[in-house]
A and B are shown apart, each in its own frame.
Chain A
């Protein structure tokens, strides 16, 4: 089972005959949690259908070039199959006049409105529009145009070009929604040959761009009409992005749905639906829904879920084995997934003082070995485990594969072991704690917890004792040791507690060899400094 590859499904021609060429053969991603900036795969270049993941999701937002697309209007979402379909991009023949209107959802107000920039220009005319819909009055602003740029593509898969440039001097203010006559502002431009799909309009705002605080969204509507206000056929709605200030000029971009690489489409999803975010939820969903293997022990799963509540974001768009998946999840949450010899499975949680607050399941040690029990006894300080800095990589962006980084640093390792080595641990943490959690910054806590393992050489004891039927489990169980000679404080070990990490049972000699490490959770937290990049 651990060698099974996930994701299991791929983009195949038999299922997606009209997909873009580069999509063929790629894995259909799997995702859990609140995932931003997922790059959609175009699975139907005619219908402009895009797929996000292989699960039922909630598509919370779709953006093109960073600009939020409207739904309905710009796309239609199909959450059960994690797909969306872009509405058609408006097309204008070469030489046609494209009329558009800018409107805001905020109420008419004399104290809260946007200030658009008009320019002196006789080539086309700006309009103030009283009301909405067909038949509203478009009143020309004589000798003035709205300042705006327009962009388009000759083909949907083509590259975006600028098809209109806002030119003119004598800038002036034109408010939007400060009086009833100004509920919308309009303008037009002649689309150049050979004709273009309209993708984006940038409108210029005055400085300051707004008076008061107009609360609401701004959007643009285009019209394929013969003239302003006549038989207006709404083509598409556009929604604005955040205000950008470019060299002293405020610019507001409004986008239309578009396909092709140049569209820079990304989506935010909550996956699966309803969203699963904790390690226990994700492991359970992976095993039951993806692998169809209901082998998890309900008791340990519940215990694991209670003790590891960190919010995760798992996005797999490249094949990995379930074993690697489990390994990365173990590294993310400091736990172990151990199959027992009777086929059951247990979860072991390690000693992160500030990471989840729950140490582990083990309680009293089962055995206390003394001098007379040891057939063999040796110790080791493993210098290779020492690290000065732990870097926990978290909150990976699916589109750029870049991580945020939390670090923990130990001056102890730096001074006493002259160690300047760094270890990097890749995780699925989001950096966000559960709402109201006592551990709001998971990645830093994890880095500090790891630092406690790395700041000193690990002291390992390997010993052999009689009997191979000892009911001990590596990782979970502890033993107490007493020995009159050891590389230890005062030269002897007096009943100290060690955690078993390795167990070799030898029936032929009726003996068991164990390797154990000091169960040391005593390193003070102030010995470690931490921060995030």
Chain B
């Protein structure tokens, strides 16, 4: 849907997509080694399809040792084959629900020398539609298509204001708010504990039922803030993405 089309649509005809790149700590899981390699693997039962990226911090003090500088985040490279992962330190490969990781120091991910985070996209919408208008998309090329979970409360989407201050002053004033996800069934209860939702990238898109994914227009891209939970819903804070450097 183009912006011109969007102007003509009544609110009830719009469909909203919310995508959040959730993190999961994986260095505290138990890993197995691919024989005769420095690659380690674990089964990740991700209903969301596949990870989006893997990152590491090498925690051991590294002064003068030639090891990675202390406190630096290393973004692992995604490999297209297991052989590629075996051959490259600081890489990952995902196949058939199994995540393979080759750490920067060729050590086991659960050696205690690392923190490792795996990221994946959680996808929500404000309501589902019968086929052929089902909201089932892949968030990026190469990602499997996933069914967008209809938990987003459309009425909770906050006003997002932007105001340019005087040019002699510099700066832009923006306001943010909160988003609500229905959670009366408790589906998210444990996930909010198991995964890390705070300060994660989110994208809010709007389109029309039946649109292709590419036709959904990004309305807001920011970061999640704190989380409030009650029996009925989960409230996610949304914040200025420039607040943190990632």
- A residues near B (Cβ < 8 Å) are 377-384, 386, 409, 411-412, 414-420, 457, 485-492, 526, 529
Q: Can you list the 7 inter-chain pairs with the closest CB atoms, starting with the nearest?
A: A491-B189, A491-B190, A487-B229, A383-B226, A378-B230, A418-B246, A381-B227
B227: chain A residues at CB < 8 Å are 380-381, 383, 457, 487
Determine if B189 and A488 form an interchain contact, defined as CB atoms under 8 angstroms apart.
yes
Measured CB to CB, the closest approach of chain A to B187, in angstroms, equals 9
Interface size of B in residues (CB-CB distance below 8 Å): 36
Q: Which of A379, A381, A386, A419 has the most CB of B within 10 A?
A: A381
- Give CA–CA (A489, B230) in the complex, Å: 15
Assuming the contacts A409-B71, A487-B192, asked whether A419 and B231 have C-beta atoms less than 8 A apart, the reply is no
Determine if A418 and B237 form an interchain contact, defined as CB atoms under 8 angstroms apart.
no
Main secondary structure of the interface of A (DSSP, over half): mixed
Determine if A415 and B57 form an interchain contact, defined as CB atoms under 8 angstroms apart.
yes
Query: Does B29 make an interface contact (CB < 8 A)?
Result: no
> For window 178-216 of chain B, which residues contact chain A by CB distance below 8 Å?
186, 188-190, 192-194, 196-199
- Give CA–CA (A380, B73) in the complex, Å: 28
Assuming the contacts A491-B190, A529-B61, asked whether A412 and B199 have C-beta atoms less than 8 A apart, the reply is no
Contact of A488 among B193, B244, B245 (CB under 8 A): B193
Q: Which of B188, B227, B234 has the most CB of A within 10 A?
A: B227
B56: chain A residues at CB < 8 Å are 415
Contact sample, A vs B, 15 pairs, CB 8 Å cutoff: A379-B228, A382-B226, A383-B227, A383-B237, A384-B226, A386-B198, A386-B199, A414-B57, A415-B56, A415-B57, A415-B73, A485-B231, A486-B229, A489-B194, A491-B190
Determine if B115 and A415 form an interchain contact, defined as CB atoms under 8 angstroms apart.
yes
B59: chain A residues at CB < 8 Å are 411, 529
Determine if A377 and B231 form an interchain contact, defined as CB atoms under 8 angstroms apart.
yes
Query: Across the two chains, which residue of chain B brings its CB closest to A384?
Result: B226
- Give CA–CA (A485, B230) in the complex, Å: 9
Measured CB to CB, the closest approach of chain A to B241, in angstroms, equals 10
Query: Does B127 make an interface contact (CB < 8 A)?
Result: no
Determine if B186 and A383 form an interchain contact, defined as CB atoms under 8 angstroms apart.
no
Contact of A380 among B112, B189, B228 (CB under 8 A): B228
Contact of B193 among A378, A419, A489 (CB under 8 A): A489
Query: Does B53 make an interface contact (CB < 8 A)?
Result: no
Measured CB to CB, the closest approach of chain B to A407, in angstroms, equals 11
- Give CA–CA (A438, B189) in the complex, Å: 43
Contact of A416 among B23, B192, B229, B234 (CB under 8 A): B23
Determine if A419 and B199 form an interchain contact, defined as CB atoms under 8 angstroms apart.
yes
Query: Across the two chains, which residue of chain A brings its CB closest to B230?
Result: A378
- Give CA–CA (A214, B90) in the complex, Å: 61
- Give CA–CA (A491, B185) in the complex, Å: 11
Query: Does B102 make an interface contact (CB < 8 A)?
Result: no
Determine if B189 and A487 form an interchain contact, defined as CB atoms under 8 angstroms apart.
yes
